[in-house]
């Protein structure tokens, strides 16, 4: 009896992947809503972890002709005490017993698990980076190398032997280089005993001539040599640098820093999806600014007054020394509680409009407040007032106030909403 | 104790030679002792993820792409991950060779069980049961699915994914009404189908001439009004295979749309026997694995420990909770089928007087396998229960019949129980629960208003007052109208021909992409 045992375990799995994508595409609006809802009460670290979402079945069900109601007859097992003619009270309405359990139709919500990528895609789907025009060929970046024909120069390791030999052969044939076998034949004839002197001398002369010719025409000449040529293909790499500016003076509480952190992380994830290289520069400031690492940025203790211009100055210096605006897309997000020494306003405004904004793709100012819900009647802080004025004058600034964790996502969405939907109007 | 050298395997581990040995041992018993006749077997070892894949495309190894399969996959996966459902022990495909999947996580005992169950039990049933012989083409199905998958993909390329998806959605909605219920036409030959489709397309391409489009159509031909009878005969009405009717008669469908309807219809037809033989099919397979496993144990090829492991999963499979048990969700086809097979074995070998009275032909005949093989070949669930559900089994399962009439305010009446007066009625009602004629709503295309607005008229004959769910019915009819391209109406009538409800739907925006 013939039997085949086939090991299919190594076959590519995820046969259903395409069907799954079709399903997600079809349910996109629903799933997106669910994703946003579920991301609101998540920690930022988990926001990208994927996970279970549930969508209403409406619109995703597959209708069939189904009957319902009418008189029903059922045969069931496990009769304990009934006899013919008994009347049983109707159970409280439990929905149709007709449909089997586990069927999609009997559920009013449909739960399933999204992978990390699917989640991020859906989460950031309707967002868009402002002004992506500045794409720059990065000199250093080359995306692998590929063969590109043959060259007459190169490193010995790259000699193409077959090419070289075939060229040498062609040259030898063209120049009629005597074959070693022909010479050997003549030599053998000369060496033979029955050869007379005259003939021998003649042969020797001929052999000499051939040998001389063979020496003149080398077996392989340097001009035969060919090298395999490789070319590095530079690919355009859009690179971005993200400046995180934060006020760490005493008035900034942990809560406020946390809010800022969330915003930065979202921005990072978002940039990361669009650019291959994203660098982050952390600049914290009190009354003087310093570039620090992430750990210090969020958790290092600091105290002092508040001088926003110092941070902007630092950012400007860093841009000048490390990130040529021609090569980098520059994003900046500043978080502060809005305090600033009033004498600093003029300097700050000038720095911003003259130095920073012209080279930035995007500059967002996030004013963080205490958890208390006085967002709406919070008096405008000095920084807010300043930036508002600058914006009124036409500076491309985005600014938002945030005081609750749950507001971060909406604000973020708001800032990066696809342009088509909301004309550049209020950023 | 028998020498351990006879054992097929030790412990839980297995490898491919072990599978081969297991299969050969089962094969030996299945042929010589049970007299089974099976398609060649192909056993495929797969991972849990792959079995989920198989689930979502109705168990078939290859299928065309459609979002609804993705939905099922997402659903299955979620409930599997949460641990709500285990995976099926086996997925087996009615094809020749008969493909059964083994999950790699299973122990050697479970693999033996699955091989005995699927590769021999189901396999024999597929090859011998009259419904499968009549309606399915085991040799051609895999090729046909391959063709269907390619064809749908090609359509998507030519006509756009959107259009194909709409057509498939509509066809799926009508899938349960795309079945020929009565033989009469010749058996499906799926290979020929496939060739036919390719030839037809070739022909169309070769005779295509864009000029025809520009030829002005003359005034309408003679207005001879067809008599109603004549018209209905010409259209082959009444017709209960709605997909077939649309494929042949819908006025504005593109050829590729007709082909897609045809594919869906053929696949529905392929699964038609399975829905009618759940109890028998599972009963057969369970009985076969039970016999084979017992025999292997007797022969000392399976250790006592492994046999206990088998008994434990076997007991789980054939567990039937009572109606008042929270786990109750209707009859477990494995339990009912297996119980009936064992009962037949008992009737054949050691009948009592009651059995002699009820089952005169088989009682005490002694040839268990002969009788069972005949039963497996010639019955479906409904007729099987009508014939072979014995009073003794009804008593053991303590069956009772409930009659729930909404008009009756006092409650649900117990109409019959497992006693002398009730046996036949209980049995008839149980059989009826498995009768597709009663399960699926009886909907037919009855007429088309050819002279007027081309409205398609369907009729649902209401049985026992059960009307269609309105929301779903409207959705399905919308799909139907989109395929038909003109208005569609459905009337629900009861036995006395009074109209209970009427739906009328017009084709929506998508129409039949003209």
pLDDT of B288 over the 90 cut = yes
| Helix (H), strand (E) at residue B493 | strand B488-493
Q: Closest Cα to residue A324, out of A142, A132, A138, A129?
A: A138
Query: Which stretches within B160-277 are classed as H helix?
Result: 161-173, 190-207, 228-234, 242-249, 255-276
CB count in 10 Å sphere of residue A235: 11
Query: What does the alpha-carbon distance between residue B34 and residue B28 come to, in Å, rounded to a whole number?
Result: 9
Ranked by mean pLDDT, the top range of A204-218, B85-99, B177-191 is A204-218
Give the residue, A34 or B126, on which the prediction is more confident: B126
Residue B161 pLDDT class (50, 70, 90 cuts): confident
CB B430 within 8 A of CB B399: yes
**CA angle centred on B347, ends B346 and B351, rounded to 5°:** 100
Give the pLDDT score at B512: 36
Give the pLDDT score at A5: 84
Q: What residue segments make up the domains of chain B, in order of their start? A: 4-129+277-311, 318-322+332-366+381-433
Give the pLDDT score at B50: 80
Radius of gyration, alpha carbons of chain A: 39
Q: Closest Cα to residue B504, out of B486, B489, B483, B485?
A: B489
Interface touch B53/A67, C-beta < 8 Å: no
Give the pLDDT score at B124: 94
Give the pLDDT score at A2: 65
Mean pLDDT of B105-115: 88
Mean predicted lDDT score pLDDT of chain A: 76
Residue A140 pLDDT class (50, 70, 90 cuts): very low
Which of A1, A10, A63 would best serve as a mutation to test chain B binding (most B beta carbons within 10 A)? A63
Which of B67, B80, B393, B444 would best serve as a mutation to test chain A binding (most A beta carbons within 10 A)? B67
Give the pLDDT score at A371: 65
Interface touch B20/A79, C-beta < 8 Å: no
Range with lowest mean pLDDT among A382-386, B87-91, B472-476: B87-91
Residues B132-168 as b or e (16 or more Cβ within 10 Å = b): beebbbbebbbebbebbbebbeebbeeeeeebbbbbb
Interface touch A3/B421, C-beta < 8 Å: no
Mean pLDDT of B258-283: 89
Give the pLDDT score at A407: 75
Give the pLDDT score at B129: 92
| Residue reference for tokens 């048990």 | B325
Both tokens of residue A60? 């995703």
Q: What is the pLDDT of residues B329-355, one digit of tens each?
A: 888 899 999 999 999 999 999 998 988
If DSSP states are collapsed to H, E and C, what string results for B377-433? HHCCHHHHHHHHCCHHHHHHHCCEEEEECCCCCCCEEEEEECCCCCHHHHHHHHHHH
Beta bridge partner(s), residue B501:
B492
Mean pLDDT of B469-495: 88
Give the pLDDT score at A415: 74
Give the pLDDT score at A256: 81
Give the residue, B216 or B296, on which the prediction is more confident: B296
Both tokens of residue B450? 């050819």
CB proximity list for B93: less than 8 A, separation 6 or greater = B59, B60, B61, B99, B100, B141, B142
Give the strand pairing for B91-93 and B98-103: antiparallel
CB count in 10 Å sphere of residue A37: 11
- Distance from the Cα of A95 to chain B's closest Cα (Å) equals 13
Query: Which stretches within A138-249 are classed as H helix?
Result: 161-174, 180-191, 197-216
Q: What is the pLDDT of residues A201-244, one digit of tens each?
A: 888 888 899 889 888 888 888 889 999 988 876 655 567 788 88
Size of interface A-B (CB pairs under 8 A): 263
Q: Closest Cα to residue B30, out of B245, B296, B341?
A: B296
Range with lowest mean pLDDT among A369-373, A398-402, B205-209, B258-262: A369-373
CB proximity list for B309: less than 8 A, separation 6 or greater = B107, B109, B110
Interface touch B399/A75, C-beta < 8 Å: yes
Both tokens of residue A420? 């088509």
CB proximity list for A319: less than 8 A, separation 6 or greater = A325, A330, A359
Query: What does the alpha-carbon distance between residue B425 and residue B128 come to, in Å, rounded to a whole number?
Result: 30
Mean pLDDT of B100-108: 86
Q: What is the pLDDT of residues A60-118, one digit of tens each?
A: 778 888 888 788 888 889 888 888 888 888 776 544 443 333 333 334 566 777 777 77
Q: Is A424 exposed, middle or buried (0-12, 13-18, 19+ CB in 10 A)?
A: exposed
Give the pLDDT score at B2: 46
Q: Which of B97, B322, B468 sits opposite A66 (nearest CB)?
A: B468
Q: What is the pLDDT of residues B111-144, one digit of tens each?
A: 899 999 999 999 999 999 998 988 888 888 888 8
Q: What is the pLDDT of residues A232-287, one digit of tens each?
A: 766 555 677 888 888 887 777 777 887 787 788 777 777 777 676 778 888 888 87
Both tokens of residue B232? 């209905």
Query: What does the alpha-carbon distance between residue B476 and residue B14 come to, in Å, rounded to a whole number?
Result: 49
pLDDT of B154 over the 50 cut = yes
Interface touch B173/A63, C-beta < 8 Å: yes
pLDDT of A423 over the 50 cut = no
Global confidence as pTM: 0.68
């Amino acid at each position: 009896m013939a039997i085949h045992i086939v090991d299919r375990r190594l076959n590519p799995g995820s046969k259903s992947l395409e069907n799954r994508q079709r399903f997600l595409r079809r349910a996109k609006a629903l799933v997106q809503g669910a994703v946003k809802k579920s991301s609101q009460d998540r920690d930022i670290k988990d926001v990208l972890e994927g996970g279970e979402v549930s969508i209403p079945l409406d619109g995703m069900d597959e209708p069939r002709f189904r009957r319902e109601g009418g008189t029903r007859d059922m045969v069931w097992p496990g009769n304990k005490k009934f006899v013919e003619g008994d009347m049983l009270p109707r159970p409280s309405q439990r929905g149709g017993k007709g449909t089997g359990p586990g069927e999609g139709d009997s559920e009013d919500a449909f739960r399933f698990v999204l992978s990390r990528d699917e989640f991020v895609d859906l989460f950031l789907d309707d967002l868009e980076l402002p002004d992506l025009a500045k794409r720059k060929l990065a000199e250093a970046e080359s995306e692998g190398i590929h063969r590109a024909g043959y060259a007459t120069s190169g490193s010995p390791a790259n000699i193409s032997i077959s090419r070289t030999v075939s060229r040498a052969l062609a040259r030898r044939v063209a120049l009629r280089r005597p074959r070693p076998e022909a010479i050997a034949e003549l030599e053998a004839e000369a060496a033979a005993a029955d050869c007379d002197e005259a003939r021998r001398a003649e042969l020797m002369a001929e052999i000499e001539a051939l040998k001389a010719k063979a020496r003149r025409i080398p077996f392989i000449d340097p001009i035969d040599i060919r090298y395999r040529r490789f070319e590095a293909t530079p690919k355009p790499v859009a690179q971005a640098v993200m400046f995180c500016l934060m006020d760490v003076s005493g008035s900034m509480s942990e809560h406020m820093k946390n809010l800022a952190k969330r915003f930065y992380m979202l921005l990072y994830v978002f940039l990361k999806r669009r650019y291959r290289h994203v660098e982050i520069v952390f600049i914290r400031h009190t009354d003087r600014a310093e570039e620090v690492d992430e750990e210090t940025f969020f958790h290092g203790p600091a105290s002092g007054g508040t001088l926003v211009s110092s941070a902007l100055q630092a950012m400007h210096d860093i841009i000048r020394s490390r990130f040529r605006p021609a090569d980098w897309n520059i994003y900046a997000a500043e978080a502060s509680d809005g305090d600033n020494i009033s004498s600093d306003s003029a300097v700050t405004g000038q720095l911003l409009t003259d130095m920073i904004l012209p080279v930035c793709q995007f500059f967002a100012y996030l004013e963080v407040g205490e958890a208390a819900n006085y967002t709406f009647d919070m008096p405008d802080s000095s920084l807010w007032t300043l930036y508002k004025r600058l914006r009124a004058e036409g500076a491309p600034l985005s600014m938002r106030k945030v005081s609750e964790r749950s507001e971060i996502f909406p604000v973020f969405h708001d800032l990066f909403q696809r342009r088509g939907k909301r004309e550049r109007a209020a950023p | 104790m028998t020498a351990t050298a006879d054992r097929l395997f030790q412990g839980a581990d297995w490898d491919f030679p072990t599978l081969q040995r297991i299969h050969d041992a089962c094969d030996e018993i299945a042929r010589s002792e049970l007299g089974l006749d099976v398609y060649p077997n192909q056993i495929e070892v797969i991972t849990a993820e792959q079995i989920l894949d198989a689930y979502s495309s109705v168990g078939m190894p290859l299928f065309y792409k459609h979002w609804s399969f993705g939905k099922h996959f997402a659903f299955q996966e979620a409930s599997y991950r949460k641990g709500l459902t285990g995976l099926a022990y086996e997925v087996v495909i009615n094809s020749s060779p008969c493909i059964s999947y083994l999950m790699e996580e299973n122990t050697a005992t479970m693999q033996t069980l699955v091989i005995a169950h699927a590769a021999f039990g189901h396999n024999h049933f597929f090859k011998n049961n009259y419904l499968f012989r009549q309606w399915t083409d085991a040799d051609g199905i895999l090729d046909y699915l391959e063709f269907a998958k390619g064809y749908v993909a090609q359509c998507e390329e030519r006509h756009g994914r959107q259009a194909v998806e709409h057509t498939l959605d509509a066809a799926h909605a009508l899938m349960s009404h795309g079945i020929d219920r009565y033989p009469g036409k010749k058996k499906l030959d799926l290979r020929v189908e496939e060739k036919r489709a390719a030839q037809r397309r070739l022909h169309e391409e070769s005779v295509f001439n864009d000029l025809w489009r520009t030829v002005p159509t003359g005034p309408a031909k003679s207005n001879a009004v067809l008599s109603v009878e004549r018209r209905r005969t010409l259209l082959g009405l009444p017709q209960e295979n709605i997909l077939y009717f649309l494929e042949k008669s819908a006025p504005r469908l593109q050829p590729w749309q007709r082909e897609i309807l045809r594919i869906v219809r053929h696949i529905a037809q392929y699964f038609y026997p399975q829905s009618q033989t759940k109890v028998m099919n599972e009963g057969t397979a369970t009985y076969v694995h039970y016999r084979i496993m017992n025999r292997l144990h007797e022969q000392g090829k399976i250790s006592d420990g492994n046999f206990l492991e088998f008994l434990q999963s076997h007991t789980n499979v054939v567990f039937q909770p009572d109606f008042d048990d929270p786990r109750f969700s209707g009859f477990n086809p494995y339990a009912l089928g297996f119980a009936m097979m064992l009962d037949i074995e008992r009737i054949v070998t050691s009948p009592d007087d009651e059995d002699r009275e009820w089952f005169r032909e088989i009682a005490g005949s002694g040839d268990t396998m002969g009788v069972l093989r005949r039963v497996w070949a010639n019955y479906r669930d409904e007729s099987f229960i009508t014939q072979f559900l014995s009073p003794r089994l009804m008593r053991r399962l303590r069956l009772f019949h409930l009659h729930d009439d909404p008009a009756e305010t006092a409650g649900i009446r117990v109409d019959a129980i497992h006693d002398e007066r009730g046996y036949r009625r209980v049995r008839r009602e149980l059989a009826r629960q498995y009768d597709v004629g009663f399960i699926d709503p009886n909907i037919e295309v009855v007429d088309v208003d050819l002279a007027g607005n081309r409205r398609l008229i369907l009729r649902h004959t209401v049985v026992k007052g059960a009307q269609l769910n309105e929301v779903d019915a409207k959705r399905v009819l919308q799909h139907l109208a989109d395929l038909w391209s003109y208005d569609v109406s459905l009337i629900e009538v009861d036995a006395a021909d009074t109209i209970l409800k009427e739906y009328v739907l017009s084709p929506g925006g998508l129409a039949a992409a003209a």
